[in-house]
Amino acid sequence: MRFMPLLGASLAAGLLVSPGSATPALAQEKAHAFTNARIFPIAGQPIDRGTLVVQNGKIVAVGPTGSTTIPAGAEQTDLAGKVVMPGLVDTHSHIGGGAGADSTAPIQPDVRILDSIDVRSASLKRARAGGLTTVNVMPGSGHLLSGQTLYIKLRQAETVDDVTIVDEKGRIAGGMKMANGTNSQRESGPFPGTRAKSAALVREQFVKAQEYRDKIRRANGDKEKMPARDLALEGLVEVLDGTRTVHFHTHRHDDIVTVLRLAKEFNFKPVLQHVSEGWKVADEIAKAGAPASVIVVDAPGGKLEAVDMSFTTGAALDKAGVLVGFHTDDFITDSRLFLRSAALAVRAGMPRDKALQAMTIAGAKMLNLDKRVGSLETGKDADFIILSGDPLSVYTRVEQTWVEGRKVFDLSNAADKLYAVGGLGAGRDEQLHTHVDEEGR
């Protein structure tokens, strides 16, 4: 017998195949209006006293309370004193415990993180507690190319199929993870020992991919002329054709410029990930038109190539005209503390509105999902969070997280609260650590 997971009060009858979902999703047939909240739609100015209406997993209305139509019979929730904003978009995370490429080669584009994610992991629960709703799950950075990433929605899930995002062509959405700098060098073959050799190996594989693509084009559908199928080269051809975005781990200013050089040479679309020294080459990044996803680390330590990391990176890149986002690289930054990244960037000079965009719509654009997520607009997915106060205040808590009109986290629920405030056990499934009072509660 197969048991369904307990979903609590958010469970409703009926099933619906959600656009962009690989599997049936719970239907939300009855409209739900959230009224009197301070709303940050991101697509426009904040609404001091606003109403958000959702139905069937989509946003059907958003605007000032009193002038926003609420459908007859809609469930209504008064959120006076609360804040509503879009669900947070994390462009670089390792939740789910997935592993990508192995030690056999430095470049492995055929590897899929899809085949390695545990969606029942506590790390996904922590992410929901942090207000995350859309996440780019990556393999690690110990390779020049460690595999294909996966874009997921943090729906309640039993298998990875329940969280995958499917694009308009029926393709499972995801990018390609690449890296340069010290992580991917190593000191023994087949891995490169220097930065120059790293770039040379990347060029070699992209040239092979170009030749493979050209053979396919020349065959023009003739099976006799088609080259033998090569899964690794297929992945690189998707990069060359622009259907798979490269998410490029890079820290030092010279490594960043190397990424831009490779991207121009092979005409692929990169998102620069981490960019610790991005502030040193902000104009070069802007000129190349490359988006940058910044990691904000608020504690000392790490690697030497990130020693010049600065809280001012977001502000410097934004001022130069770069599309700026943030990410957790969870566990580097705990998913529950993601909003802190925007707050620290604002403290260092980034405009407040741009910092909130960096947590939402900017990340959505980097994942090519901005038509669906990243802002509260009619027709978009009903992904939003309810906060106790201002998004950038250290005192603010994520009280609820909703994905496609379904509540997936509720701070008032004792089980959910553990994942929001708990220690080691909230991050490791094997060791559940909690506190018990004198009465055993």
Report helix, strand or coil for 437. coil
Angstrom distance (rounded) from CA 426 to CA 309: 29
Residue 441 tokens read as 């509660």
- pTM of the prediction? 0.91
Q: How long is the chain?
A: 441
Confidence class of residue 299 from pLDDT cuts 50, 70 and 90? confident
pLDDT digits (tens, 9 = 90+) for 181-199: 999 998 788 999 999 999 9
Confidence class of residue 438 from pLDDT cuts 50, 70 and 90? low
Same fold, 8-87+380-422 and 88-366: no
Q: Running DSSP on this structure, what letter comes out for residue 283?
A: H
pLDDT of amino acid 205: 98
Asked whether 427 and 377 are in contact (CB, 8 A), the reply is no
Domain limits, the chain: 8-87+380-422, 88-366
Mean pLDDT across the chain: 91
Residue 126 tokens read as 């922590």
Spatial CA neighbour of 90 closest among 385, 301, 346, 377: 385
Whether residue 204 is predicted with pLDDT greater than 60 in this model: the reply is: yes
How many CA atoms within 13 Å lie on the side-chain side of 183? 22
Angstrom distance (rounded) from CA 414 to CA 395: 20
Angstrom distance (rounded) from CA 411 to CA 419: 9
Angstrom distance (rounded) from CA 422 to CA 404: 26
Helix (H) or strand (E) holding 202, with range, is helix 195-219
Confidence class of residue 439 from pLDDT cuts 50, 70 and 90? low
Report helix, strand or coil for 402. strand
Asked whether 245 and 176 are in contact (CB, 8 A), the reply is yes
User: In three state form, how does the secondary structure of 343-385 look?
Assistant: HHHHHCCCCHHHHHHHCCHHHHHHCCCCCCCCCCCCCCECCEE
Angstrom distance (rounded) from CA 389 to CA 425: 27
User: With respect to CATH, is domain 88-366 assigned 3.40.50.620?
Assistant: no
Contact residues for 441 (Cβ-Cβ < 8 A; gap 6+): none
pLDDT of amino acid 117: 97
Superfamily of domain 8-87+380-422: Urease, subunit C, domain 1 (2.30.40.10)
pLDDT of amino acid 124: 97
pLDDT of amino acid 268: 97
pLDDT of amino acid 16: 38
Burial bucket for residue 312 (CB in 10 Å: 0-12, 13-18, 19+):
middle
Whether residue 277 is predicted with pLDDT greater than 90 in this model: the reply is: yes
Which residue in this structure is represented by tokens 């000191």?
A: 187
pLDDT of amino acid 7: 33
Contact residues for 104 (Cβ-Cβ < 8 A; gap 6+): 190
